[in-house]
A and B are shown apart, each in its own frame.
Chain A
Amino acid sequence: MKETKLNQNIDWSRSGSRDRVFDRLICRLAGPGDRVLDLGCGRGDLLLRLKKEKGIRELGIELDPEYAADCLTRGLSVIQGNLEDSIHDFNDDFFDLVILNQVMLTVPNPLHLLKSGLRVGKKVAITFPNFAYWRIRTQIMFRGRLPVNKNLPYEWYETPNIRLATVDDFVRLCREHRIAINQKNFVSQVDNGKLKQIVYWPNLRSSLALFCLSRAQDA
């Protein structure tokens, strides 16, 4: 597999706390008994929670064989494999909800993955770190260095985020590709671990974004 090399060296546990930030909100997006696909499901924490709270019929896709084995041990349906290859084999609208939790920026072709997600799922929940967050801006401006902190715990040469995006970039992409934004949520993470909901100026003030998307009705 082409991507295996890149991903194998990543210590995902370092971003574990960050990945769980939106779990509560993502759970709200799923209905009871829904078919849910979690792309890049890791050890299956979110799927397990969704199964417990909503009784969903879950499927995870995970590249890392150890994480996939963890999921299976915990009794989850999981396919170990490459996200972009695996998603092609599902029929249109097979899932009620497709989750891309902090994985969009880790794949070579995020737009393609997003569109595939919208094809196989009626809704797509997508989360990603906002690289226009003011702390990142000031760090680059005054220190001249890319951010490495608790929430983005990787040096530039080891980060899984091989693409960078901002809230405004993403909104623009949705507009251009006629993707409907049904819901959005923004938070900023303070160093003491607390979260703050952000309503105004999210592109500047939020460090993480959650969008719930669907194909535009008139598309």
Chain B
Amino acid sequence: MQQSSSSVRTEKNSVGPVETKTVTFKGDNYILKLESGKTMSPVTVAYETYGRLSPSKDNAVLVCHALTGDAHAAGFHTKEPEEKPGWWDLLIGPGKPLDTERYFVICSNFLGGCKGSTGPSSINPATGKPYGLHFPFFTVRDMVMVQKWLVQDHLGINRLHAVIGGSLGGMQVLQWAISFPAMVRGALPIAATARMSPQAIAFNEVARQAIMSDPQWNFGLYEPQSQPSAGLGLARMIGHITYLSEDAMLRKFSRRFINGSRRGYKLGADFQVESYLHHQGSTFVERFDANTYLYITRAMDYFDLQADHGSLQNAFSSSRCSFLVISFTSDWLFPPACSQELVKALRMAGKNVSYCNIGSDQGHDAFLLPGNRMGEVVTGFLTRLEHED
């Protein structure tokens, strides 16, 4: 078991070594008109691809990442034996559901991210300093617009076999089906919602307040090496509670203490669930930017297809793809009812829609974890798409 991480690396089902590439869209053709009314130019996009694009360019699958994800969805960047693979290695690789022997898989860091694409932590060419709070507000629709530049203008792909993503990634999937109906054959929104619930907005707001009440935040003017780590770590801890479920916490931690069964009579982490959250918080600070977290959660909050189009049914009236909607029974952040509302609207709009509420006690995070049936269901759907139209 000690060698598991290195054995994973040499396994046949990994895409192996990969690197993140970047492309910058500039010039008159690439002035990004944001939904907020502001414009942006130039825009850099970080992306990775796995597998080979077919000569007819019809086997591309776009993967959309969630709140804290990045372009590194599969494989490894270094030769370090301890390195963890990309965030969706579970799904992407030879013989896996997003089979890199059949599909050309693309994943990009979305607009506003902090992993290579233009976002609040990027250097503002006008000032030579990070944008910080000078970065314009962006939405899911804006993210998808930039992804379209990458897919069509840079990679030369006019139609995607499928667009897939979980959580905020699933919102981008829905936006793709609406914004660019001719470019999508299959849409797979997983653990997603067509509009943020007030409860989910509330959790986002608490996370933002945690960041903004950290004095280190300094109205977004912190130096990159001195982040508001207490606030950002706390935001991540709150997030993590919403990604799990009561059952998953009980199974993983029970009421166990860090020191076996003995109470420590202290205020520092005493229960295992506490040390888990602290660990999540402190490791997150090292890999994520606080201002970026503020902006992305806002983009999520503003996501409301019903408000954008009058009704959900209307929103999808021009969509031409087949849909596979997946929810998880124990997800209470974007509960199954959100997905069921979406399925109902798609059905009423006369779209080809499949849906499964997959049994899992893993909560919202189930889409990132093994041990449920998401993979095989995705495989079945993608294979079926190959025989359609």
Contacts and interface: CB of A to CB of B under 8 A. Distances in A.
B384 A80 contact: no
Interface string B252-284: 000000000000000000000000000000000
A75 B354 contact: no
Interface string A64-99: 011011001111111111000010011100100000
A89 B354 CA distance: 14
Contacts of A65: 329, 356-359
B54 interface: no
A81 B357 CA distance: 9
Interface stretch (B72-80, B144-152, B163-171, B341-349): B341-349
Contacts of B352: 77
Contacts, number: 62
Interface residues of A, number: 19
B107 interface: no
B341 to A, nearest CB: 11
B354 A74 contact: no
Interface string B326-343: 000100000000001001
B379 A78 contact: no
A66 B340 CA distance: 17
Contacts of A90: 347-348
Nearest to B385: A75
Nearest to B325: A79
Interface of B: 322, 324, 329, 340, 343-344, 347-348, 350, 352-359, 373, 376-377, 379-381, 383-384, 387
B356 A80 contact: yes
> Which of A65, A72, A75, A79 has the most CB atoms of chain B within a 10 A radius of its CB?
A72
Given A72-B324, A73-B377, A80 B357 contact: yes
A89 B344 contact: yes
A79 B354 contact: yes
A79 B353 contact: yes
16 contacts: A65-B329, A68-B355, A68-B357, A69-B373, A69-B376, A69-B377, A72-B356, A72-B376, A72-B381, A73-B373, A74-B380, A77-B322, A77-B353, A79-B343, A80-B356, A80-B357
Nearest to B387: A75
Nearest to A75: B384
A65 B377 CA distance: 12
Contacts of B387: 75
Contacts of B377: 69, 72-73
B340 A76 contact: no
B112 to A, nearest CB: 33
Given A79-B347, A89-B347, A72 B353 contact: no
Given A72-B354, A81-B340, A86-B347, 10 more contacts: A68-B355, A68-B356, A72-B377, A72-B380, A75-B380, A77-B384, A79-B343, A79-B347, A80-B357, A89-B347
When A and B form their complex, which 4 residue pairs have the shortest distance between CB atoms, in order from nearest?
A75-B384, A73-B380, A89-B347, A72-B377
A78 B379 CA distance: 14
B385 to A, nearest CB: 9
Contacts of B340: 81
B316 to A, nearest CB: 13
Contacts of A75: 380-381, 383-384, 387
Contacts of B355: 68, 78-81
B359 A66 contact: yes
A143 to B, nearest CB: 40
